[in-house]
A and B are shown apart, each in its own frame.
Chain A
Amino acid sequence: EVPLVESGGGLIQPGGSLRLSCAASGLTVSSNYMTWVRQAPGKGLEWVSIIYSGGGAYYAGSVRGRFTISRDNSKNTLYLQMNSLTAEDTAVYYCARVGSTSFAFDIWGQGTMVTVSS
């Protein structure tokens, strides 16, 4: 059983929108801090957003105002709504759980690729 499975990536034109999903099994999204991290091709890791168990959310400056993190408790699924996409948003997007004692990112999904290109 894979704890986190991302989906929703694909090829999108600049200025477009995309919603990523992260389906969880074996862990409860609403009870955990959950986060999105991205990795541009051949580059390092970049933190994108986090949602706390209480519902508060925070964003990296590069995506603030364009991306929205949310969750559906009934589906045990995390989302990332991405608007006004640019080529700089091209990356593999990973969802991850924030450990309740470590506060590091201890469980990761396999990632979903987003390509922004005309």
Chain B
Amino acid sequence: EIVLTQSPGTLSLSPGERATLSCRASQSVSSSSLAWYQQKPGQAPRLLIYGASTRATGIPDRFSGSGSGTDFTLIISRLEPEDFAVYYCQQYGSSYTFGQGTKLQIK
């Protein structure tokens, strides 16, 4: 099973700042089969990025994903108030696993 480790566990930033979230896999993720989801309290997750770097439909361009192999990054270029949430990475190249999440909170 591919284990995904996200860092940091919690990230405290202010609106307008840049957020950098990391996701490291225990083994190489095939075909960049890596997605990012956003989840707000009491809501279902929302797909942000798939294929490591492709934004899902309707996702603002301040969200960008990059990486390959075992190291992946989600960047939010300028934080909006609605971006404060929990973010999960997921690999779907070998079965399906999620990272433990990064909580992005207002500083």
Contacts and interface: CB of A to CB of B under 8 A. Distances in A.
B35 A47 contact: no
B92 interface: yes
Interface of A is mostly: strand
A99 B37 CA distance: 14
Nearest to A109: B44
A103 B95 contact: no
Interface in A70-118: 94, 99, 102-106, 108-111
Interface residues of B, number: 24
Contact of B56 (A45, A94, A103, A106): A106
Contacts of B100: 44
A24 B43 CA distance: 18
Greatest chain A CB density within 10 A among B54, B92, B95 is at B92
Interface residues of A, number: 20
Nearest to A99: B50
Contacts of A58: 95
B101 A105 contact: no
Contacts of B33: 103
B66 to A, nearest CB: 16
A92 to B, nearest CB: 9
Contacts of B90: 45, 104-105
Given A45-B45, A108-B44, A102 B56 contact: yes
A46 B90 CA distance: 10
B46 interface: yes
A106 B56 CA distance: 8
A18 B57 CA distance: 34
B84 interface: no
Q: Which 6 A-B residue pairs are closest in the complex by CB-CB distance?
A: A104-B35, A47-B96, A104-B50, A108-B44, A102-B50, A45-B98
Interface of B: 33, 35, 37, 39, 43-47, 50-51, 54, 56-57, 88, 90, 92, 95-101
17 contacts: A35-B96, A37-B45, A44-B98, A44-B99, A45-B39, A45-B90, A94-B44, A94-B45, A102-B35, A102-B47, A102-B50, A104-B47, A104-B50, A105-B35, A105-B37, A106-B47, A108-B45
